[in-house]
Amino acid sequence: MLICGVPKDSDEFSRLYSLERSLFGDLSLPPAMADDIFKFRPEIYTVILGPQQTVAAYSSAFPLKRKWAEAFVAGDVTEPELTPDMLLGRQDCLDDACVYIGSVVVASNYNPLMKATLLASLFSWRMQQLRDTSVRRLVVIMTAATKQGERMIRAVGAKPLNGGANRKDGYTVYERQITPGFLYRATAVMERCLNSRIVQMNFEFRPSLAAVTRVPALATA
């Protein structure tokens, strides 16, 4: 049985971050800043853990303050430069907010059917997270660092917002409006791929911040 939810402690987050760093290198957050953001809002990250606590899949979604959302779209700020001060806190309303989708990753050692199940589980968890916070409408923005990312962006119907030539990281940023209608349609599609006998959902969307401790391996890397 695999479990999908927020990393429950620094050890689980360290496993997620290690995979992120191995895949994206300097395109990802620096170790100490990743640690700070995890402590600030652990639910930015979702992870699916398999046997021996191996990371089967994960995603990250950063709710940006308006000023920093505009700077990100313009290309003046990129993912490795994000800090907790740029992010909305738990007390902030997400209606009409802008959320940057940092990563959606499925480990490569699974067959296509299992990958579809893992991907559907990540999306389903995020959609339930939005419902839990009573969000009616928001904008998600994303970039594609891989061919898989490009395919995913096309699949969700995201539209180009600013070309890579205008942004200092060289990646085009895309936009998708998230509405109740989109959530309804997306849920119907994802439910076809979900399998509760394989992936169990943990819908604890706001874990206690007291449980999050500093990650020595990240802080000193």
- More confident call, 133 vs 114: 114
Amino acid 221: pLDDT? 42
Which residues constitute the domain of residue 146? 2-219
> Mind listing the pLDDT tens digit for each residue in 2-16?
999 999 999 999 999
B/e letters for 51-86, b = 16+ CB within 10 Å, e = fewer, are eeeebbbbbbbbbbbeebbebbbebebbbebbeeeb
In the predicted structure, residue 140 carries a pLDDT above the cut 90: yes
220 pLDDT band, cuts 50/70/90, is very low
Amino acid 18: pLDDT? 96
Using alpha carbons only, what angle is made at residue 140 by residues 37 and 14, rounded to the nearest 5 degrees? 30
> Mind listing the pLDDT tens digit for each residue in 18-54?
999 999 999 999 999 999 999 999 999 999 999 889 9
132 pLDDT band, cuts 50/70/90, is confident
Mean pLDDT along residues 57-73: 98
In the predicted structure, residue 105 carries a pLDDT above the cut 70: yes
> Mind listing the pLDDT tens digit for each residue in 78-88?
999 999 999 99
Amino acid 43: pLDDT? 95
In the predicted structure, residue 211 carries a pLDDT above the cut 80: no
| Structural domain count, the chain | 1
As a whole number of angstroms, the distance between CA 60 and CA 45 comes to 5
In the predicted structure, residue 219 carries a pLDDT above the cut 50: no
CATH number of the domain where residue 202 is located: 3.40.630.30
In the predicted structure, residue 214 carries a pLDDT above the cut 60: no
Amino acid 19: pLDDT? 96
Asked if 22 contacts 68 with a C-beta cutoff of 8 angstroms, the reply is: no
| Residues with Cβ within 8 Å of residue 121, at least 6 apart in sequence | 4, 48, 57, 194, 199, 201
Amino acid 65: pLDDT? 98
* This prediction's pTM: 0.90
In the predicted structure, residue 202 carries a pLDDT above the cut 60: yes
